[in-house]
Structure 1
Amino acid sequence: MKTYRIEFTQKIPVDMDTAWDFFSSPLNLAEITPESMTFDVTSPIKKDEKMFPGMIITYKVSPLLGIKLNWMTEITHVKDKEYFIDEQRFGPFAFWHHLHRFEAIDGGVLMHDILHYAIGYGFIGTIANEIMVSKKINEIFSFRYKKVEELFGKI
């Protein structure tokens, strides 16, 4: 099974507390996800609840063709105001490991995402990645980049 790696970086003109407060709230993920994906958090998460190791988050998401899928991730690691990792437990990928890093820089915070994923299904998965999955993931992160700029500004 082929595993892919994609990295995304963004500078945000806010202090670490503001960045961490926003990105460590599972409910804010829907706000920075394209509406076309109809991303809904289905876990009973309270408005002010923050991520913690072992937290299970369930979603309904329509990544392609409007087909609703169930997705479950676990927050496996959290280091306050430094990083957290979400890993898929059930969902559309054979493997999903997403590291979210935060670093204080002059004028704000550097947010760095490292995503490892695999589709499975042998050569069919490889073709699917080349035709649509990689493109869709990049579109999602491009949308997120623009949305974060709208919410917080840019450096």
Structure 2
Amino acid sequence: MKRVLQYNTEQLLSVAIEEAWNFFSTPKNLALITPPDLDFRILTKLDDGEIYTGMIINYMVRPLFGIPVRWKTEICEVNKPFSFTDRQVSGPYKTWIHRHEFIKKDNGVLVKDEVRYELPFGVLGNIGKWLVQNRVEKIFEYRRQILQRIFNPDPGSQHSHTA
């Protein structure tokens, strides 16, 4: 039985769509918005250029219990500056498809993430789905907090810093 899980989130950032695109389409920035306990490392040698369709990126990550896992993703669709999609080629999930969407608003850009994933190991994998779902939620909550600091600093603070 195929059990595809889904996670959706959105966040309004107080920047122009081009600035949001420039940040999210630079693979090196992914490490900035990933929780430190994942020990996320990009293994692919990257320049400072932005993503492109067909781009392959290799990572090392420790998603659960500190166990290192190699993860390879492909940028499979790019619609600059409105959206891009990456998918897992190999890694911890049976399938992982992550669509990033950027919608221009009067007061900034709405960043939407849709993640569809399937756990490995069939029925056995589904036993731990609550653990994985909770982990995915915590990763995106961390990301939300970092993006808030970078793009929506507190206007009342005279010492606003970016990550």
Tell me if both proteins adopt one fold, taking TM over 0.5 as the criterion: yes
For residues 68 and 86 of structure 2, the distance between their equivalents in structure 1, rounded to whole angstroms, comes to 21
Amino acid in the other structure paired with 1:34: P
Which residue pairs with 1:89 in the alignment? 89
C-alpha contact (below 8 Å) 1:119/1:125 kept by paired residues: yes
C-alpha contact (below 8 Å) 2:11/2:112 kept by paired residues: yes
Which residue pairs with 2:41 in the alignment? 40
User: What per-residue deviation string (whole Å, max 9, x for no partner) do you get for residues 67-92 of structure 1?
Assistant: 11100000000000100000000100
Higher relative contact order (CA 8 A, sep 6+): 1
Which residue pairs with 1:134 in the alignment? 133
TM-score, L = length of structure 1: 0.96
RMSD: 1.2
Which residue pairs with 2:158 in the alignment? none
For residues 22 and 120 of structure 2, the distance between their equivalents in structure 1, rounded to whole angstroms, comes to 35
Which residue pairs with 2:18 in the alignment? 17
Q: Secondary structure at the match of 2:146?
A: helix
Aligned length: 153
Amino acid in the other structure paired with 1:13: S
For residues 67 and 8 of structure 1, the distance between their equivalents in structure 2, rounded to whole angstroms, comes to 27
1:150 aligns with 2:146: no
For residues 6 and 24 of structure 1, the distance between their equivalents in structure 2, rounded to whole angstroms, comes to 20
For residues 101 and 35 of structure 1, the distance between their equivalents in structure 2, rounded to whole angstroms, comes to 25
User: What per-residue deviation string (whole Å, max 9, x for no partner) do you get for residues 122-154 of structure 1?
Assistant: 222111112x10000000000000000011116
Which residue pairs with 2:29 in the alignment? 28
Percent of matched pairs sharing the same residue: 35
Q: Secondary structure at the match of 1:45?
A: coil
For residues 93 and 15 of structure 1, the distance between their equivalents in structure 2, rounded to whole angstroms, comes to 34
C-alpha contact (below 8 Å) 1:24/1:50 kept by paired residues: yes
Q: Secondary structure at the match of 1:17?
A: helix
Amino acid in the other structure paired with 1:18: E
Distance change (3 Å), C-alpha of 1:70 and 1:63: same
Q: Secondary structure at the match of 2:18?
A: helix
C-alpha contact (below 8 Å) 1:30/1:39 kept by paired residues: yes
Larger radius of gyration: 2
For residues 93 and 122 of structure 1, the distance between their equivalents in structure 2, rounded to whole angstroms, comes to 11
Which residue pairs with 1:69 in the alignment? 69
Divergent runs of 4+, >4 A: none
C-alpha contact (below 8 Å) 1:12/1:154 kept by paired residues: no
CA shift at 1:120, angstroms?
Answer: 2.5
For residues 121 and 91 of structure 1, the distance between their equivalents in structure 2, rounded to whole angstroms, comes to 13
